[in-house]
Amino acid sequence: MVIDFLKKVLKSFDCAGDGIALGFNERNMRVHGSIALVVIILGIWFGLAAWEWIIILILFGMVFGAELLNTSIENLADVIRDKEGLDYKATKETRDLAAGAVLVTSIVAATIGMLIFGSKLI
């Protein structure tokens, strides 16, 4: 029984990993990844404190998570649109709302990042 449980848990991690990999097929996810890489390099350069790294990592998780949710919503909207024979406008609001969530998350992350890095320049 424990072995079956562990197999299911490992399978769920495998599926989640597949989802993250699929997310990086999207242009915006690669843009966020590139920005994250720059932030990591700058964080090392500026010698961020542990608490600053914790905040940065939380922000990475929020932005990447929002982008993955946005992509899943867009993919689901495509399936529904195609199945129902709808035009793009029928799912536009849903897509715009999901994209707006990513934008809000990204703006907040960028603002906090600028505050953290700006404090190093003063």
Q: What integer pLDDT is reported at residue 45 of this predicted model?
A: 96
Domains identified in the chain, total number: 1
13 falls within a domain = no
The model's pLDDT over 27-62, given as tens digits with 9 standing for 90+, comes to 999 999 999 999 999 999 999 999 999 999 999 999
From the number of C-beta atoms within 10 Å of its C-beta (0-12, 13-18, 19+), residue 23 rates as buried
**Which has more confidence, 52 or 121?**
52
21 falls within a domain = no
Q: What integer pLDDT is reported at residue 120 of this predicted model?
A: 87
Burial state string for 66-87 with b = 16 or more CB within 10 A and e = fewer than 16: bbbebbebeeebeeebeeeeee
**Cα–Cα dist 59/109, whole Å:** 6
12 falls within a domain = no
17 falls within a domain = no
22 falls within a domain = no
Residues with Cβ within 8 Å of 50's Cβ and at least 6 positions away in sequence, in order, are: none
Residues with Cβ within 8 Å of 3's Cβ and at least 6 positions away in sequence, in order, are: none
The model's pLDDT over 59-71, given as tens digits with 9 standing for 90+, comes to 999 999 999 999 9
Q: What integer pLDDT is reported at residue 121 of this predicted model?
A: 86
Question: Taking the model in full, what pTM does it have?
Answer: 0.89
10 falls within a domain = no
98 falls within a domain = yes
Indicate the SS3 state at residue 47: coil
Domain that holds residue 88: 27-121
> What CATH number does residue 60 fall under?
1.10.287
Question: What number is the average pLDDT over the span 12-25?
Answer: 93
**pLDDT class for 1, splitting at 50, 70, 90?**
confident
**pLDDT class for 22, splitting at 50, 70, 90?**
very high
User: CB 54: neighbour CB atoms within 10 A?
Assistant: 11
6 falls within a domain = no
